[in-house]
């Protein structure tokens, strides 16, 4: 699971939410992606969390090396107040 902490420039949150909503289909169409979702922090409305269920970290890295990632980047990264923090998690208690 990719966990991306997305700090958005204050005042651009609604514009970002619209843009990332449209851009999610880019990630979801990538090989190895099993779905993605975006959440907005309650305590700080300028912080968003992107969760992507990749089959593997390698599948995520393949996406980052693809032309589609550049399209994703052009639609989301201009809104960031500072660089996103991206980490990967594994299920501890799979169901």
Predicted local confidence at residue 52, as pLDDT: 99
Predicted local confidence at residue 26, as pLDDT: 98
Per-residue pLDDT at 6 exceeds 80: yes
Residue among 69, 93, 85 nearest 5 (CA):
85
Predicted local confidence at residue 94, as pLDDT: 78
pLDDT digits (tens, 9 = 90+) for 36-88: 999 999 999 999 999 999 999 999 999 999 999 999 999 999 999 999 999 99
What CATH number does domain 2-88 carry, 3.20.20.70, 3.30.70.100, 3.40.50.300, 1.10.287.130?
3.30.70.100
Per-residue pLDDT at 95 exceeds 90: no
> What average pLDDT does this structure show over 19-42?
98
Predicted local confidence at residue 76, as pLDDT: 97
Q: Can you give the pTM of this predicted structure? A: 0.93
The full 3-state SS of the chain, as one line of letters, equals CEEEEEEECCCCHHHHHHHHHHHHHHHHCCCCEEEEEEEECCCCCCEEEEEEEECCHHHHHHHHCCHHHHHHHHHHHHHECCCCEEEECCCCCCC
Domain definitions of the chain by residue range = 2-88
Structural contact between residues 19 and 79, judged by C-beta atoms closer than 8 angstroms: yes
How many other C-beta atoms are found inside a 10 Å radius of the C-beta of residue 8?
24
Phi, psi of 10, rounded to the nearest 5 degrees:
-55, 135
């Amino acid at each position: 699971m990719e966990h991306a902490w997305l700090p958005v420039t204050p005042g651009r949150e609604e514009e970002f939410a619209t843009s990332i909503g449209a851009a999610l289909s880019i990630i979801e169409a990538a090989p190895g992606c099993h779905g993605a979702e975006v959440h907005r922090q309650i305590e700080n409305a300028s912080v968003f969390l992107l969760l992507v269920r990749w089959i593997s970290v390698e599948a995520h890295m393949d996406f980052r090396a693809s032309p589609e990632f550049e399209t994703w980047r052009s639609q989301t990264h201009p809104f960031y107040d500072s660089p996103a923090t991206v980490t990967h998690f594994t299920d501890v208690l799979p169901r």
